[in-house]
Amino acid sequence: MNVCVAGAAGAFGIKHLDALQCIEGVVVTSIVGSSIESIQSLAKQRGIEHFTTDLAESLARDDVDAIILATPTQIHAAQAIQCLEAGKHVMVEIPMADNIEDAKRLVEVQKRTGLVAMAGHTRRFNPSHQWIKNKVTAGELTVQQMDVQTYFFRRTNTNAKGETRSWTDHLLWHHACHTVDLFQYQTGETVNKVQAMQGPIHPDLGIAMDMSIGLKVVSGALCTLSLSFNNNGPFGTFFRYICDNGTYLARYDDLYDGNENKIDLSQIAVSNNGIELQDREFIDAITQGREPNSSVAQCLSAMSTLDKIEQCLD
């Protein structure tokens, strides 16, 4: 399987390059970046033959079967559609779009082309969340509430590596998207009630820096989500699952019970790296000719919920 990574020099582009190295039979044959100097340097460092600043150039190559898009949020949908229309399978990092109309359009193109199109909802693949999902599926746990905190200190346009980025991130359409999808995935239900508030709009970035979201599904399970770009402290997303049979704390690929006892996740999957497991699912779905977990069609309901939340904010 020959793969191209677009946005390869960014924080998540590097994570995907590292993950793909762990998957047998996968070769990164092309990388795309916004700066010719940085992408050329990365290609030399990684031993990748082709590099470019033009995605269309990579899409035209016969030695590219699939694309991973780790590019700015605002162009995710357009680039994913571009990949599908060029006959390439695509995985687009979260979110697959920053509005409901583009999300629906992407799903329509995927259905028309029949190619694999997957959204990068990594939380579905983190072993910590997989452990919870397995227990729910087996009837051993019922989620009663998810209490989630997504915190960063990001008052300028910088990425996870602290580097300047050319685009502005968004608490709702990017960071809340992770939790909205995960809540619906873990409960197996679609949100039917939402409430949301946001803090003041940043004068330069033009976005709200703080947000509070409440969600409810038909069974009565709740999700309380707090998000901030103003948090001067440890950053990341921290999940508390309050269940009928225990409380669990998920931090990326680690899981603890309510008393901070670490849970062994070594038998959950072939890796403890959620990004690698996500990429493995993408490659396996292509080779097996099936719909992947976290396909754009599956994730459309999360985008619809985000649209409802945005209407509350408006």
pLDDT, tens digit (0-9, with 9 covering 90-100), for 62-78: 999 999 999 999 999 99
Residue 20 one-letter amino acid:
L
Whether domain 2-120+275-292 has CATH 3.40.50.1970: the reply is: no
Q: How many residues does the chain have?
A: 314
At 147, list the tokens. 């209490």
pLDDT digits (tens, 9 = 90+) for 154-213: 777 776 666 676 667 789 999 999 999 999 999 999 999 999 999 999 988 888 999 999
Domain with CATH 3.40.50.720 in the chain: 2-120+275-292
What distances in angstroms separate CA 27 from CA 21, 57, 282, one per listed residue?
Answer: 8, 18, 14
CA 180 – CA 17 distance, rounded (Å): 27
What CATH number belongs to 123-271+301-313? Answer: 3.30.360.10
Q: What is the distance, to the nearest Å, from the Cα of residue 136 to the centroid of all Cα atoms in its chain?
A: 22
Share the mean pLDDT of the chain.
95
By DSSP bridging, strand 191-198 and strand 236-243 are unpaired
> For residue 36, which phi and psi values (nearest 5 degrees)?
-65, -35
State the pLDDT at residue 235. 80
Could you tell me the pTM of the whole model?
0.94
Q: In what order do the strands lie in the sheet with 27-32?
A: 50-52, 27-32, 2-6, 66-69, 89-93, 117-120
pLDDT digits (tens, 9 = 90+) for 107-130: 999 999 999 999 999 999 999 999
State the pLDDT at residue 162. 67
Radius of gyration of the chain (CA): 19
Domain with CATH 3.30.360.10 in the chain: 123-271+301-313
